[in-house]
Chain A
Amino acid sequence: MIKLKHIEAIRNGDFTGLPISNTSTAVNMTGSWKFFRPTLKPKKSPCLEACPLHILIADYMQEFAAGNHLNALEILRENNPLPAVTGRVCPHFCQSACNRTDFDEAVLIGDIERALGDLGLTQPYSMESQECQEKAAIIGSGPAGLAAAVFLARSGVKVTIFEQSEAPGGLLRYGIPAYRLPRRILEKEIKNIVESYSIDLRCNHKIKSTDLDNLRKEYDAVIAAPGLTQSSIPETWPETPTVKGALELLAAISRDEPIPGQDFVIIGGGNAALDTARSLKRLGKTVQIIYRRTIDEMPAYPDEIIEAQSEGLLLREETVIEEIIDNGRDLSLNLHRSRKNGDRIEAGDFIETITTDFLIAATGQESSGDFLNCNPELLKAGDFAHGAASVAEALASGRKAAETTLRKFGRLPDDSITDQETQNLPPITFAALHLNYYSKKPALKIPQLDEQTRSDNFSEIHLGLSLEQLEIEAERCFHCGSCTTCGICWFFCPDVAIAINRESDNAESQILFDYDHCKGCGQCAEVCPRGVIEMEEDL
């Protein structure tokens, strides 16, 4: 019988003749061959860059999609103190910049923000540090004032807000109509802030120029956020009770005051014009908007214009009022076609004369607090500081004022956390993503009340979706520029030189490169779906 030495050896578990070894290849430092090394380079997502509040959208989407709603809310609140509000009324700068637009459709960031905001209505806000000695006074409880209050109080500062109106919110309450921002939601969100941070909110307390000195004595810092809450009425218009400002009318509607008159003509093309017109229509009035340029040129948010038109609102574009005749009880208006003369717009051909009960100016906003301007030491925030803008910008400006104040108190490092973490990073473009791992999927459809149902009341038009439904939407997010520890780099690395530690809370240490064995082939950088890994020279 021939002896089968080698076959016997295998049978007996002796592998000496085989290329199998129970020692590690780790001694072979293949890493010494490399000329390039991979590094984690997280990037700003375009949505974050576009959002005035620089919300860490890519990060909270990840938590949200995983069903960790409260974690997502926590990340969202780090930068945004009023998510139930902005989720409804912000024009969603983020969505217009979303990388997913180039793939199929933008992620519905606003709707997810809104759902998280609503979830947060019953979740107290978290504190960052213990109480301290400093006290701050804030003038105005609009979004700018509220944001300043939150970010100061979060660091332990004792905050007092002075609000001249009987209730807080500024234009959120007395400007934006309830069908876009239900009062119940606004009140709950503000109440939650006030209670979570023990803010001393003093309504019906108007600050006058004579109060300023005392305020400055009593408080370590004063922030002025009085907004632009008055309509500016063109000087050429007659001063008569049948001419009114849009903001004053909106405030009256918001307070449920009776609105006399039947026919209304509104001049302007911004949000104030549309909100006034749509509110009046809901009260059964006859309304038309007269705008001197084309509808496409209206500064109001495009979605608002589309909704207003679907509600049957009469929009007369390229029309100007050449003459206003005060008839005492009502007004006669001579309408002309508008004509461009260089940059100016002037009256062209006569169209017709119409009669109306009220003429409403929605042509601009001004401040009632000019006396605050005289004080150069006062920190300013919101519309009052930067001109009429948006809620998100007002919030951002309020936060900035708070950060400046904290820095003055020596309670914040030189640069704020959010600025450091996000502003200095390079942004990530659509082209830098590797999208083989994604399939096309349209955005969810958000239900709304139909025109019939909403025509005579102030019920919220947009109905929103449940958190569970929106998880599917959040899954569409690419998490541009943020490592999600998806593990694709780990899978492809031919040298087993990547380790993933999902337990670590520090993003930096979740992906570990073993540079002793990484050969620098660059496959990880090539396959990273989110463009987080970059190769740099290693000489």
Chain B
Amino acid sequence: MEKPAILLGSEAVAHGVKLCRPQVISAYPITPQTHIIETLSEMVDSGELKSQYIKVESEMSAIAAVLGSVSAGSRSFTASSSQGLAMMHEILHWYAGARLPLVLVNANRALGGPWNIWSDQSDSFSQRDTGWLQIYCETSQEALDTIIMAYKASEQLMLPIMVMIDGFILSHTMERLMIPTPKMVDDFLPPYKAPYQLDPENPLTFGAGAHPDLFYELKKAYSETMTEALTLIDQCQAEFAQKFNRHYDVIMHCQEGDKDSDTAVICCGAMTGTARVASEMLNENGTSVDLFKLRLLRPFPKTALITALKNKKRVIVLNRACSYGVGGTLSQEIRTALYDLPEHPIVNDVMISLGGKEVFPETIVKIVNDREQLSATEPNWL
């Protein structure tokens, strides 16, 4: 039987990680992620989690350390945020290219300068092209569950997965949630059996030099595996729903409007909670909208998105990350995917928040109510 608990988001993450029994943990503290690894280090210290905890002097070393431990065949974990994730950047590419599994939790936070520690998704959005899978979570329960599913997917794909929680909004907020029993997780997630690993008895070369044609072939296979990942993740989520009775999808329909509602709001992460309240308010006051949250950013679930939005005339995208000179990063992803539709809906690119700028339900209600005034081509700043 699952046990209810009231935990901080960061503690929920730590409990999720613990249930997955990582053999090696290495991380470097950074606000707002620090609680995660503090909780884990206490678990290791008390003996309740049997794991090797490697202290390091930087995030660069943390990711390099788990690159080593996973190469040696262990299930491992690391976490970071903001500047820390940026510092890992070089190894993030290498890690994915090495075709090794891992789950990394990132607590989304703004990148300086100017200095800012608040919630902002620019840190992980700017790692889109490293080859990692990316999943954004709305609640701490979702984060805990996603970690368990992520290990399962990652180890079959031999690809690393980054799981996002919004800094402070999730990491530092208490939530009532259910903690699965170890047995439930063990039944869902068997111990990691590395298909290949560092072994002096059976020497293999990892990531050796590849000549141009071979390099191209390997990257093509990589790209195809990412496509296959969409199916695999669906399977994982379905199996999880069956065993744990909590349902997740790569894109989730959070609030349904009227049958003939032609406006959709889409966002990702914890802001979805606020948007749920806003869309309820809107529907009650006669403005019918559908609310979607995008969980999977990489690989991008294009087909699922098209299916979800194909009948809409307008899609309002709420962004927490910006690609300066273009606009909201999430908007670009959605616009690109919708291009394949014979008739495109209008995509309103709304820069709703950066660096922890507060988003109230009223903010979203106003944006939707004034939708006719929104630019359909340029980013909309408040």
Contact = CB atoms under 8 A, between A and B. Distances in A.
Interface in B187-243: 195-196, 203-210, 217-218, 221-222, 224-225, 228, 231-232
A241 interface: no
Contacts of B157: 7, 10
Contact of B218 (A4, A13, A18, A25): A18
A19 B228 contact: no
A18 B99 contact: yes
Contacts of B156: 7, 10-11
B304 interface: no
A236 interface: no
| Residue in B157, B228, B232 with the greatest tally of chain A CB atoms within 10 Å | B228
Nearest to A30: B209
A10 B228 CA distance: 13
B159 to A, nearest CB: 10
A13 B194 CA distance: 10
B98 interface: yes
B257 interface: no
Interface centre among B208, B210, B217 (most CB of A within 10 A): B208
A2 interface: yes
A17 B208 contact: no
Contact of B204 (A11, A20, A28): A20
Contact of A21 (B208, B221, B222): B208
Nearest to B226: A6
Nearest to A14: B195
A6 B205 contact: no
A24 interface: yes
Contacts of A5: 224, 228
Interface in A1-38: 2, 4-7, 10-11, 13, 15, 17-25, 28
A19 B218 contact: yes
B97 interface: yes
B221 A20 contact: no
B346 interface: no
Interface residues of B, number: 25
Contacts of A7: 156-157, 225, 228, 232
Interface residues of A, number: 19
Nearest to A13: B195
A1 to B, nearest CB: 9
A7 B204 CA distance: 20
A175 B283 CA distance: 111
B205 A4 contact: no
Given A5-B228, A6-B224, A7-B228, A22 B205 contact: yes
Contacts of A10: 156-158, 195
A15 B208 CA distance: 14
Contact of A18 (B158, B224, B228): B158
A256 B57 CA distance: 69
A4 B195 contact: no
A206 to B, nearest CB: 71
A20 B205 contact: yes
Nearest to B231: A2
Contacts of A6: 221, 224-225, 228
A17 B205 contact: no
A5 B206 CA distance: 22
A19 B208 CA distance: 7
A23 B228 contact: no
A22 B205 CA distance: 6
Interface centre among A13, A17, A24, A28 (most CB of B within 10 A): A17
Contact of A4 (B98, B217, B232): B232
A20 B231 contact: no
A21 B224 CA distance: 20
A119 to B, nearest CB: 40
8 contacts: A4-B231, A6-B225, A10-B195, A11-B156, A18-B196, A18-B221, A19-B210, A24-B203
